[in-house]
């Protein structure tokens, strides 16, 4: 954690409140297509500021909420968030960036060229050159929701059942797959939230209904996955939303014999990428950064990372040259010399099933 206002005698949450106090309004910014961690973290800051400072607070993000579980969470818990295309700011409004690095391109502040007053994040490479008046950037912590839950606990504020459930789900999603590290703070916060959350709501969120379109995307993704030794590569031929890219990566990394995965799909004009690695098989962030070097940006966790190459989409696909370049870059980053892949599911098997 780094903070220009840090003092061993003052709580981190108090430091944040002191920075925000001179402003009339507070705007909390989530990254585009906000995930549970961004939503829960933003919601917690809204409660903190409203209860302790009594100032008007908005929690906003761009894009849409696509993943079925995330939509179900919003429907059930009703967090006070807004999805907007733009925001109007003045010098009387403090901006707080949650669950996202200041250098990332997937949030409203970057597009407006505005530097936040405060940054609260847990991602690797999230804010390498951050210089906000308040910064709490802890990559050793499992989720941004853990950090903001600590703020509530420090200020003796009760999150309530719905927010506590949202924060529990956020931590659970951030520690799925091989990203299972828990800091001492995570271990202290989880029981505190569990006492206040609702298990039935949590179970309902995790078993959200899925659309038929989702299964269509899933089928096409599996048919489009190629294996190169222990590395997998999947360019999705279509994607209903951004979240499917990460979901496919989460699924493929569980396949026996696969140690590293890169999935990509065109969303709008951009190519979105998700990388996964098994424990002891390299850093997903480092592999993805090497793959998109000079083309786009990437960030995330040790074993779960995401990236974007802007402005390269052509319909639902990218150019053949970029496809080949990214494949070569990914395999080089993984140290795989074999350039000809084999399908995860053989085409003859697919045809046989369809004709049967």
* pLDDT values of the chain reduced to their tens digit, one per residue, 356 residues: 444 444 456 899 999 999 999 999 999 999 888 999 999 999 999 999 999 999 999 999 988 887 889 999 999 999 999 999 888 888 999 999 999 877 776 777 777 778 899 999 998 765 555 579 999 999 899 999 999 999 999 999 999 999 999 999 999 998 876 666 789 999 999 999 999 999 999 999 999 998 888 888 888 899 999 999 999 999 998 887 777 899 999 999 999 999 999 999 998 888 999 999 998 899 998 999 999 999 988 877 788 888 889 899 877 789 999 999 999 999 999 999 877 899 998 877 766 665 65
What tokens does 279 get?
């424990």
Under DSSP, the state recorded for 31 is: P
| Cβ(204)–Cβ(76) below 8 Å | yes
Block residue for tokens 């954690």: 1
| Cβ(232)–Cβ(226) below 8 Å | yes
- Secondary structure class of 185 (helix, strand, coil): helix
pLDDT value, residue 200 = 97
CA angle (147 as vertex; 141, 153 as ends), nearest 5 = 130
Q: Which of 239, 261, 243, 240 is nearest to 252 (CA)?
A: 261
Q: Which of 86, 134, 137, 95 is nearest to 114 (CA)?
A: 95
* Contacts with 356 (C-beta within 8 Å, 6 or more apart), sequence order: none
Q: What is the pTM of this model?
A: 0.82
324 to 165, 166, 339: CA distances (angstroms): 44, 41, 10
* 80 phi and psi angles, rounded to 5 deg: -80, 65
Q: Which domains does the chain have, with CATH numbers?
A: 12-206 (3.90.1640.10), 212-355 (3.10.310.40)
pLDDT value, residue 2 = 44
CA angle (16 as vertex; 15, 19 as ends), nearest 5 = 90
């Amino acid at each position: 954690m780094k903070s220009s206002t840090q003092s061993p005698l003052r709580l981190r949450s108090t430091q944040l409140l002191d920075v925000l106090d001179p402003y009339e309004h507070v705007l909390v910014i989530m990254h585009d297509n906000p995930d549970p961690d961004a939503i829960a973290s933003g919601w917690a800051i809204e409660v903190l500021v409203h209860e302790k400072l009594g100032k008007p607070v908005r929690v906003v993000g761009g894009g849409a909420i696509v993943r079925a579980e995330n939509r179900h969470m919003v429907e059930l818990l009703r967090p006070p968030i807004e999805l907007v295309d733009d925001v109007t700011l003045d010098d009387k409004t403090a901006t707080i960036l949650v669950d996202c690095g200041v250098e990332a391109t997937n949030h409203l502040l970057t597009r407006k060229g505005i530097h936040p007053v405060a940054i609260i994040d847990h991602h690797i490479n999230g804010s390498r050159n951050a210089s906000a008046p308040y910064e709490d950037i802890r990559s050793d912590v499992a989720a941004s929701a853990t950090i903001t839950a600590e703020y509530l606990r420090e200020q003796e504020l009760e999150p309530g059942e719905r927010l506590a459930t949202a924060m529990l789900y956020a931590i659970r999603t951030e520690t799925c797959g091989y990203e299972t590290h828990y800091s001492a703070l995570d271990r202290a916060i989880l029981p505190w939230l569990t006492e206040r959350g609702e298990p039935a709501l949590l179970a309902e969120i995790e078993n959200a209904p899925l659309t038929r379109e989702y299964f269509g995307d899933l089928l096409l993704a599996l048919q489009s996955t190629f294996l190169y030794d222990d590395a997998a590569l999947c360019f999705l031929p279509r994607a209903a939303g951004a979240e499917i890219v990460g979901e496919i990566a989460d699924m493929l990394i569980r396949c026996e014999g696969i140690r590293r995965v890169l999935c990509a799909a065109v969303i709008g004009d951009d190519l979105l990428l998700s990388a996964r690695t098994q424990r002891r098989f390299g850093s997903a962030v480092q592999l993805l950064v090497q793959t998109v070097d000079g083309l786009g940006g990437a960030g995330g966790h040790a074993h779960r990372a995401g990236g974007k190459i802007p402005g390269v989409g052509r319909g639902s696909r990218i150019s053949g040259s970029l496809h080949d370049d990214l494949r070569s870059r990914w395999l080089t980053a993984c140290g795989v010399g074999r350039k000809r892949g084999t399908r995860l599911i053989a085409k003859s098997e697919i045809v046989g099933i369809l004709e049967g």
